[in-house]
Amino acid sequence: MGRDVTEALVNYARPEPGMSILDLAAGTGEPAISLASKVGAGGHVTALDLSADLLQIAARRARERNLTNFSTQQADAHQLPFLDNSFDLITCRFGIMFFDIRALREAYRVLKPKTRACFLAWGPFDQPFWSTMLGVAHKYAGGARTVAGQDPCRFGQPGSLAAFLREAGFENVEEKTEALPWTWPGEPEEIWEQVQASATPFLPMLQRIPVEKRAQVDREVMRALRKYQDAEGIKFGATVVFGSGQKA
């Protein structure tokens, strides 16, 4: 689903040959792998994540593409194991929503002067990918939608991501919102099953759905999903927020 979003972040970050790049919350390897293909043999991309299992997948994917300028680092974005002024560019796709200010200050620290950090976050919750499934579930579960401090749509309010970057000390801060393709190339049942298994911030909410209501929730979710389905899959679209800032 994330291919178009990844490409958009890479274009926004403007990687150049020879750059040393740090990709935070890299997961299974994007956009780090795409960035490695841009910086050439003289550059290097470090994919950082808390999960060793996800980084193993990222490393395997990089090997399959014969990328020799790619490495992984298991670490917490809030305590980066790098020296000051180490990187020409920092990127992060769908990770900043779960960071506190320490992670941004660490990103600022390890950037070289006059270089940028570029982030991509989800826009508002009121968009098809969220409302068709977790929005329906919330009507039946009630209570808090997400675990405290773990809202993936935290930066849905215009200006909030830019304010967060400024709080961390970044200058020349930019923010923009875009609508991009976000398509599930399969059946509604498959994406609903995946979301229920992997949407960690929403799991306590999902668990509050009364047992006797779960079949009703499933039916309502299927009806909502099929409104966006065609022969190519489920075309949700995604409203996302780009934000960047420069180190002084």
Instruction: Output b/e per residue, 183-201; b: 16+ Cβ within 10 A.
Output: bbeeebeebbeebbeebeb
As a whole number of angstroms, the distance between CA 21 and CA 91 comes to 8
- Calculate what percentage of the chain has a pLDDT beyond 90: 98
State the pTM of this model. 0.95
14-61: pLDDT as tens digits:
999 999 999 999 999 999 999 999 999 999 999 999 999 999 999 999
Predicted confidence band of residue 149 (pLDDT cuts 50, 70, 90): confident
Cα separation values, 140 from 71, 213, 218, 220, Å = 44, 7, 11, 11
- Contact (CB, 8 A) for 105 and 169: yes
For residue 55 the two structure tokens come to: 């980084």
Res 112: pLDDT: 98
Find the mean pLDDT for residues 168-179. Answer: 98
Q: What is the pLDDT of residues 100-135, one digit of tens each?
A: 999 999 999 999 999 999 999 999 999 999 999 999
Asked if the model's pLDDT at residue 154 lies above 90, the reply is yes
CA 232 to chain CA centroid, nearest Å = 24
The CATH code of the domain at 3-246 is 3.40.50.150
Cα–Cα distance list, 119 to 21, 32, 104, 214 (Å)? 13, 13, 10, 36
pLDDT bucket at 148, cuts 50 / 70 / 90 = confident
